[in-house]
């Protein structure tokens, strides 16, 4: 039972209280606990960590750095180039090797659209860093 007047909103501790939606800055501070499957990449990343706080810290530091890489890397792509890469990436999961092979995949694809110069795109991808290629793939949603 709430100990508030009828016109007052419930407060934390009251069983009827509902947490307000989090702002973006609040989400970055506290997001709660979640179960995470540790496949080989995460197992390698967390190797040697002794407790959940160490593991959590390692994962959060890595994610923060990864987000900064995505923020400062990538390539300027035309819409035809973006469509070509989305077609190639649409195979699903893109492994690091497949991301590195994007220039060759562009050269070999049968995808065509108006305004697409596949060789120019392949050259652009050849000159890009791996971080730039990852940012492109992530930006396309793959």
Most confidently modeled range among 3-7, 26-30, 37-41, 105-109: 105-109
| Residue 42 near residue 59, CB atoms below 8 Å | yes
Q: What is the pLDDT of residue 2?
A: 47
Q: Report the chain's terminal Cα–Cα distance, integer Å.
A: 49
| 56: Cβ contacts below 8 Å, ≥ 6 apart | none
Q: What average pLDDT does range 15-34 have in this prediction?
A: 65
State how far the Cα of 33 lies from the Cα of 48, in Å rounded to an integer.
21
Nearest to 129 by CA among 93, 102, 95: 102
15 — pLDDT class (breaks 50, 70, 90)? low
125 — pLDDT class (breaks 50, 70, 90)? very high
- pLDDT of 1 strictly over 50: no
Q: How many CA atoms lie within 13 A of 13 on its CB side?
A: 4
Domain ranges of the chain: 36-72, 79-139
Q: What is the pLDDT of residue 26?
A: 61
How many percent of the chain have pLDDT more than 70? 80
**pTM attached to this predicted model:** 0.72
Cα–Cα–Cα angle for 112, 102, 78, nearest 5°?
A: 50
In whole numbers, what is the pLDDT of the chain averaged over residues?
86
């Amino acid at each position: 039972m709430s100990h508030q007047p009828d016109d007052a909103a419930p407060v934390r501790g009251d069983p009827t209280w509902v947490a307000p939606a989090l702002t973006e800055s609040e989400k970055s501070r506290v997001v709660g606990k979640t179960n995470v499957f540790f496949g080989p990449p995460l197992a390698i990343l967390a190797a040697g960590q002794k407790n959940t706080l160490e593991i959590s810290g390692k994962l959060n530091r890595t994610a923060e750095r990864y987000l900064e890489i995505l923020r400062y890397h990538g390539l300027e792509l035309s819409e035809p180039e973006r469509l070509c890469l989305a077609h190639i990436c649409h195979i699903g999961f893109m492994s690091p090797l497949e991301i590195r092979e994007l220039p060759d995949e562009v050269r070999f694809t049968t995808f065509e659209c108006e305004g697409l110069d596949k060789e120019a795109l392949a050259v652009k991808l050849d000159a890009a860093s791996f971080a730039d290629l990852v940012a492109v793939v992530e930006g396309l949603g793959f």
